[in-house]
């Protein structure tokens, strides 16, 4: 492609706002027979292979693989996506480049075995050049190297000149250009990309051509049309998909930058309101913004990401999706501090996101209070973490240097022989406190200390490698199983589920699997081998089944498969799962000989099923009662339903009060006593939501959904098994309620005979407590316990007083005995404290009793330590705790330093403690 292939005049595009671009895109494809599908959640429903929805095709993955069908063959959507992990990970690039984001919107149109390359290319061209007004001469196209069909359409039908076309890519040789796949395995195919020419004046030379030079600013990829033809296998093979499909993706942010004629995505109307709010909070003018653009862009991007993540039910945590959210919040907070903002600000910028995008994504407005509250709590908690980490870091730095802290001093200005903070300490701060390494480097530099970055990087790499090696093995096996399950599903179709009506039925075996291999016939091995259970493990697929497959928080059924002719138990079912589409897998232990085509009787453990049903219906009752008592924001964020009990997670920022807990239990028990009918219906998803049925973010729902309604009380989308009436739940009791993370609580409860047994045990314990306390009956127990507590407190006070009297003076006595040196009160004490923390606590008590003065406490140990504080009025007069510590550590043959108001040091010579105390007095005397 030549430098002169297009003009460089101003574009003739319509300066459309992002909302109008989105509307026009969807309207264009709706007029061409496409179903407009709502954006899926950022949490991929029913997909364990992805942390987040990272492209528009995620919600259609099973359709593309031929294991799920929809009522439509053409679709279009605007999908919210997040790329912060895995194959598509843009996290470290965010803010540094004009285009990378964590969260973005992908406009897409789809064909599932309907139209293919010709229509996809023609419609893309028509939308861009006619509806949106992008000049044709400013567009170019690339194709996969051997995709002559697409190239011919561009050349012969669209009329694109040869100098604005290029062919790249050889996937077998490791060049993935113009070949797209969502992950290491799964649907994939060649693609054609449409690029916008931002002007020859931005060219950086002959290598600056579409899709060839990744960083050349002239060409901007705006639309990728993927032609899904293959299913990538774990062993490297690419098998044909059941039908050919089209999967296109166009970033709304990029398209907006083109149509609004701005240099970066961050200059579009999607980001400008966030920048403006941040400038207001900081008191910056536009010139300040340009000088600090990197941090502004990080904050704007991350504000959008955290807003949508919380809206989609993700809460901060130390693992999984919650940890990703926490990382994004912390990176944004770090950049806020770089801009000089120490007070919380992310809830303010998130509120701007809600205002700007709430019309397109109503969930933002619906969950506004939860979003802002969650973000404020997490940001405030991280501020405390930073403060705690700063204290830990300072304690590690002070013994390394005798220098005063100089705010603003850079590590880059330090001499080559400056002290070095070990990399493992920096990594521990990062790993334990989430303390950013760049903040560690900055603070260490102010103390005159370098950080061993190589050591830090090595520790971080080692941790990542440990995690990665385990994940790679898991992902490889998972990919093999997914491929096998897809093949079985395409061959045998969905398993007919009978479990709503019965717990036993005859069925035919249609597939048998052991490990990752499918068998026609499988027989139990010798009895000696069966003692090692792995030798008998297998998985069986039936054409129909009464076994419920795990889903919606309810665990899978257990039971057995019996020879229909002889009654012999052939297989014990230990778990039931649905890995893809409607395919049900029965996993367990083989006892006899099974073969495909064989008829068996499938029998679910009926008692286990009944107890599970009671707990599942009880979960629905608990959910509604909880929201009635504490508010509608306490929506289900996770649940586990087992025969033994139920677990329910919900967003809330405090423990339930005793009155709230009693009110919830009372309401659930009332509905149980009323024996209300439990009604099941099937309807369209939109109809169910309009009728008030609750849906949950991490579940995958089809076009037709099943709702479960406890008459006049609760109404939820649910595929689980339930009681026929609320009275069958029996008893109900909450046995636990606790925090499981920032802003997230968990309730554990029992129903039926489990609740009765638990209450019986508690009554027995109450009787034992009454007897042990010597109370006159259960009613008198609280008063008797209070009386005993008071006696214990009195005894503890006497013990502490006696212990201190034996060990040495109390802090107030040390303060009272303070001597005056050069007009400065000095309270000094040395003792063999159990730890330095104890010594510091002793010093703080002295300080409380001596508002003005110097407090010095020394730890008598083989490695003696000294801790000094100076009151604020004396600091104002020029006294420095750091200087006093440096005087004291010389006789101890150690190092120390710190701030004027507080400092500490550590030595190696215990015998030097008396001399250290004298040195402190001498320094004060001048």
Written as one string, the DSSP assignment of 367-423 is THHHHHHHHHHHHHHHHHHHHHHHHHHHHHHGGG--SPP-TT--GGGS-TT--EE-H
pLDDT at position 66 is: 79
pLDDT at position 584 is: 96
**Which parts of the chain sit beneath pLDDT 70?**
1-14, 46-49, 85-92, 182-183, 205-207, 209, 211-215, 402-405, 407-408, 466-476, 524-535, 696-700, 797-807
Angle, alpha carbons 643-649-653 (nearest 5°): 155
Residue carrying structure tokens 């030079």: 213
Please provide the DSSP assignment of 657-682 as one string. PHHHHHHHHHHHHHHHHHT-BEEEEE
3-state secondary structure of 714: strand
Alpha-carbon span 327 to 319, nearest angstrom: 10
Q: Could you tell me if 724 and 657 are in contact, meaning their C-beta atoms sit under 8 angstroms apart?
A: no
Phi, psi for residue 876 in degrees, rounded to 5: -65, -25
DSSP-assigned letter for residue 834: S
Alpha-carbon span 180 to 129, nearest angstrom: 25
Using alpha carbons, list the distances in angstroms from residue 473 to 183, 476, 480, 546, 743: 15, 5, 11, 34, 34
Residue carrying structure tokens 């809830």: 347
pLDDT tens for each residue of 643-678 = 999 999 998 889 999 999 999 999 999 999 999 999
Q: What number of CA atoms fall less than 13 Å from residue 345's CA on the CB side?
A: 27
Q: Is the dihedral of CA 358, 362, 363, 369 positive or negative?
A: positive
pLDDT tens for each residue of 49-107 = 678 988 888 888 888 877 788 889 999 999 999 988 655 556 667 877 888 899 999 99
Alpha-carbon span 584 to 187, nearest angstrom: 22
Alpha-carbon span 765 to 784, nearest angstrom: 16
DSSP-assigned letter for residue 334: H
Alpha-carbon span 607 to 538, nearest angstrom: 24
Q: Could you tell me if 452 and 421 are in contact, meaning their C-beta atoms sit under 8 angstroms apart?
A: yes
Residues in the chain: 926
pLDDT tens for each residue of 498-532 = 999 999 999 999 999 988 788 888 876 544 444 44
Residue carrying structure tokens 């215990």: 910
Cβ of 803: how many Cβ atoms within 10 Å?
9
pLDDT at position 596 is: 93
pLDDT tens for each residue of 3-32 = 333 344 444 566 899 999 999 999 999 999
| Span between the terminal Cα atoms of the chain, in Å | 79
Q: Could you tell me if 451 and 479 are in contact, meaning their C-beta atoms sit under 8 angstroms apart?
A: no
Using alpha carbons, list the distances in angstroms from residue 718 to 38, 178, 502, 552, 683: 20, 41, 18, 7, 12
């Amino acid at each position: 492609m030549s430098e002169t292939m297009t003009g460089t005049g101003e574009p003739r595009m319509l300066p459309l706002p992002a909302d109008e671009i989105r509307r026009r895109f969807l309207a264009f494809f709706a007029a061409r027979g496409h179903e407009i599908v709502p954006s899926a959640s950022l949490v991929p429903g029913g997909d364990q292979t992805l942390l987040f929805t990272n492209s528009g095709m995620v919600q259609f993955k099973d359709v593309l693989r031929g294991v799920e069908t929809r009522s439509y063959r053409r679709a279009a959507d605007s999908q919210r996506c997040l790329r912060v992990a895995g194959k598509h990970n843009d996290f470290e690039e965010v803010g540094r480049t004009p285009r990378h984001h964590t969260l973005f919107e992908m406009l897409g149109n789809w064909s599932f075995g309907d139209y293919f390359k010709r229509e996809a290319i023609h419609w893309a061209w028509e939308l861009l050049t006619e509806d949106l007004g992008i000049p044709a001469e400013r567009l170019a196209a690339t194709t996969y190297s051997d995709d002559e069909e697409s190239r011919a359409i561009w050349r012969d039908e669209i009329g694109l000149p040869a100098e604005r076309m290029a062919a790249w890519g050889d996937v077998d040789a490791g060049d993935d250009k113009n070949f797209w796949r969502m992950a290491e395995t799964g649907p994939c195919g060649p693609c054609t990309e449409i690029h916008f020419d931002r002007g020859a004046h931005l060219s950086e030379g002959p290598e600056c051509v579409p899709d060839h030079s990744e960083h050349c600013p002239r060409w901007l990829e705006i639309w990728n049309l993927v032609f899904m033809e293959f299913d990538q296998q774990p062993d490297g093979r690419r098998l044909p998909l059941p039908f050919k499909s089209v999967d296109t993706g166009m970033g709304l942010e990029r398209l907006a930058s083109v149509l609004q004629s701005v240099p970066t995505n961050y200059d579009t109307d999607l980001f400008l309101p966030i920048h403006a709010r941040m400038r207001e909070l900081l008191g910056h003018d536009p010139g300040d913004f340009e000088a600090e653009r990197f941090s502004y862009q990080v904050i704007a991007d991350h504000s959008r990401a955290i807003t949508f993540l919380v809206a989609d039910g993700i809460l901060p945590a130390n693992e999984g999706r919650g940890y990703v959210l926490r990382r994004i919040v912390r990176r944004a907070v770090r950049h806020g501090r770089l801009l000089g903002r120490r007070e919380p600000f992310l809830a303010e910028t998130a509120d701007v996101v809600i205002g700007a995008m709430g019309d397109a994504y109503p969930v933002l407005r619906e969950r506004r209070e939860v979003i802002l509250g969650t973000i404020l709590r997490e940001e405030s908690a991280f501020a405390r973490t930073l403060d705690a980490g700063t204290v830990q870091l300072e304690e590690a730095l002070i013994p390394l240097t005798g220098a005063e802290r100089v705010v603003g001093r850079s590590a880059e200005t330090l001499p080559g022989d400056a002290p070095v903070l070990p990399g493992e300490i920096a990594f521990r701060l990062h790993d334990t406190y989430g303390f950013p390494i760049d903040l560690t480097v900055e603070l260490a530099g102010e103390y005159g200390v370098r950080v061993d970055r190589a050591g830090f990087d090595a520790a971080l790499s080692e941790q990542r490698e440990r995690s990665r090696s385990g994940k790679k093995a898991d992902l490889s096996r998972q990919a093999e199983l997914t491929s096998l399950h897809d093949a079985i599903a395409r061959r045998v179709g969905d398993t007919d589920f009978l479990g709503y009506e019965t717990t036993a039925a005859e069925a035919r075996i249609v597939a048998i699997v052991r490990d990752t291999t499918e068998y026609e016939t499988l027989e139990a091995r010798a009895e000696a081998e069966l003692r090692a259970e792995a030798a008998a493990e297998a998985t069986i697929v039936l054409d129909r089944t009464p076994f419920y497959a795990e889903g919606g928080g309810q665990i899978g059924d257990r039971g057995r498969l019996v020879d229909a002719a002889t009654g012999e138990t052939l297989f014990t079912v230990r778990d039931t799962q649905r890995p893809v589409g409607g395919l049900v897998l029965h996993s367990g232990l083989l006892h006899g000989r099974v073969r495909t085509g064989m008829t068996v009787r499938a029998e679910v453990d009926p008692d286990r099923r009944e107890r599970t049903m009671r707990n599942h219906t009880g979960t629905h009752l608990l959910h509604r009662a909880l929201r009635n008592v504490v508010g509608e924001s306490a929506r289900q964020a996770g649940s586990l339903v087992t025969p033994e009990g139920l677990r329910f997670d919900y967003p809330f920022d405090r423990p339930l009060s005793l009155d709230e807990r009693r009110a919830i239990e009372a309401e659930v028990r009332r509905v149980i006593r009323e024996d209300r009918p439990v009604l099941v219906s099937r309807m369209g998803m939109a109809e169910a939501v309009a009728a008030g049925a609750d849906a949950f973010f991490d579940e995958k729902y089809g076009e037709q959904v099943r709702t479960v309604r406890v008459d006049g009380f609760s109404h939820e989308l649910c595929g689980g098994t339930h009681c026929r009436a609320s009275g069958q739940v029996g008893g109900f009791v909450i046995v636990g309620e606790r925090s499981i993370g920032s802003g997230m609580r968990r309730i554990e409860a029992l129903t039926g005979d489990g609740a009765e047994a638990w209450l019986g045990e508690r009554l027995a314990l109450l009787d034992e407590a009454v007897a042990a306390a010597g109370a006159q009956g259960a009613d008198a127990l609280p008063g008797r316990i209070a009386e005993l507590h008071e006696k214990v407190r009195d005894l503890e006070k006497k013990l502490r007083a006696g212990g201190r009297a034996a060990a040495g003076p109390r802090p107030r006595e040390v303060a009272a005995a303070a001597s005056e040196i050069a007009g400065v009160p000095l309270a000094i004490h040395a003792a063999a404290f159990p730890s330095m923390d104890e010594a510091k606590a002793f010093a703080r008590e002295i300080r409380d009793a001596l508002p003005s003065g110097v407090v010095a406490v020394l730890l008598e140990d083989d490695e003696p330590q000294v801790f000094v504080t100076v009151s604020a009025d004396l600091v104002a007069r020029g006294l420095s705790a750091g200087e006093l510590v440096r005087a004291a550590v010389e006789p101890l043959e150690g190092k120390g330093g710190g701030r004027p108001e507080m400092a500490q040091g550590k030595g190696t010579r215990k015998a030097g403690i008396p001399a250290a105390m004298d040195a402190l007095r001498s320094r004060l005397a001048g």
